[in-house]
């Protein structure tokens, strides 16, 4: 989803950070697994009913694929941020836990989106959850930027700025899609695709 920071500082000797990484991996794995619960087809169906149920399951499969891809990106970004933390603080830990709580909640808006994609509240809730997680990640990068040594490599600093800009664009796009959902739900969901050109443009400008 986003370009990660290039320089990492593993915390093998920091038990607090190591526990956060293990906890994060577990929550992301559980959230990814729970997404598939929304993809179900009743048993013992006749041919016609089976094909109809299979067709009805396509929105759930689409929501699963979308959310799995986004959560995988969240996990990659989150792990890069964790391993690059110069130091663990109370504020940073609380932000990390807030982000993990939002990730653990994602199967709920994903299920709503699959079942009620025509309802603006469902689309807005999904977009709001995505915007909130990206905002947490961007805030973590901005906070920890102050902890970096002034002698940090220029290439690493540029990578962090590019990473933060991409996260900010994610927050903006998902955030703008929330009011758009109450005008046209389909337009709001198509609007999410602007993440691709936004990342491309930001990447080229930073280079």
Across the chain, which has 207 residues, the per-10-residue mean pLDDT values are 48 64 90 85 82 84 89 87 71 89 93 91 96 92 65 61 86 96 95 88 66
Alpha helix locations (H) across 39-194? 47-56, 58-83, 90-105, 107-115, 120-145, 154-181, 185-191
CA distance 109 to 18: 30
11: DSSP letter: -
Which two three-digit tokens encode residue 84? 């690059």
Nearest CA among 154, 152, 172 for reference residue 162 = 154
15: DSSP letter: H
Q: How distant, in Å, are the alpha carbons of 28, 65, 151, 181 from that of 72?
A: 8, 10, 32, 25
Q: Quick one: pLDDT at residue 7?
A: 47
Q: Quick one: pLDDT at residue 205?
A: 61
CA distance 130 to 137: 11
Q: Quick one: pLDDT at residue 105?
A: 93
Q: Quick one: pLDDT at residue 194?
A: 93
Nearest CA among 107, 109, 102 for reference residue 139 = 102
Q: Quick one: pLDDT at residue 127?
A: 96
Q: How distant, in Å, are the alpha carbons of 51, 54, 152 from that of 47?
A: 6, 11, 64
Q: Quick one: pLDDT at residue 124?
A: 97
What are the φ/ψ torsions at residue 20 (nearest 5 degrees)? -65, -40
Nearest CA among 92, 116, 107 for reference residue 30 = 107
197: DSSP letter: H
CA distance 53 to 57: 6
- The answer to whether the beta carbons of residues 140 and 95 sit under 8 Å apart is yes
**Angle at alpha carbon of residue 93, lines to 87 and 98, rounded to 5°:** 145
Look at residue 99 and give its three-state secondary structure. helix
- pTM value is 0.80
Q: Quick one: pLDDT at residue 106?
A: 92
Q: How distant, in Å, are the alpha carbons of 56, 103, 166, 170, 207 from that of 130?
A: 25, 9, 14, 8, 27
Q: Quick one: pLDDT at residue 12?
A: 47
């Amino acid at each position: 989803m986003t370009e990660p920071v290039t320089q990492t500082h593993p915390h093998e000797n920091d038990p607090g950070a190591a526990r956060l990484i293990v906890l994060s991996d577990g929550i992301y794995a559980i959230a990814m697994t729970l997404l598939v619960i929304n993809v179900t087809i009743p048993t013992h169906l006749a041919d016609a009913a089976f094909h109809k149920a299979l067709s009805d399951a396509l929105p759930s499969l689409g929501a699963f694929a979308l959310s799995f891809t986004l959560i995988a990106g969240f996990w990659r970004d989150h792990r890069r941020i964790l391993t690059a933390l110069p130091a663990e603080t109370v504020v940073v830990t609380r932000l990390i836990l807030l982000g993990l709580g939002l990730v653990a909640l994602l199967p709920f808006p994903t299920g709503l989106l699959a079942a009620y994609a025509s309802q603006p509240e469902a689309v807005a809730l999904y977009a709001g959850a995505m915007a909130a997680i990206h905002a947490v990640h961007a805030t973590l990068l901005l906070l920890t930027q102050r902890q970096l040594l002034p002698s940090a490599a220029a290439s690493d600093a540029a990578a962090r700025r590019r990473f933060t800009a991409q996260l900010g664009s994610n927050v903006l796009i998902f955030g703008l899609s929330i009011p758009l959902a109450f005008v046209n739900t389909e337009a709001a969901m198509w609007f999410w695709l602007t993440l691709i050109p936004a990342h491309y443009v930001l990447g080229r400008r930073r280079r």
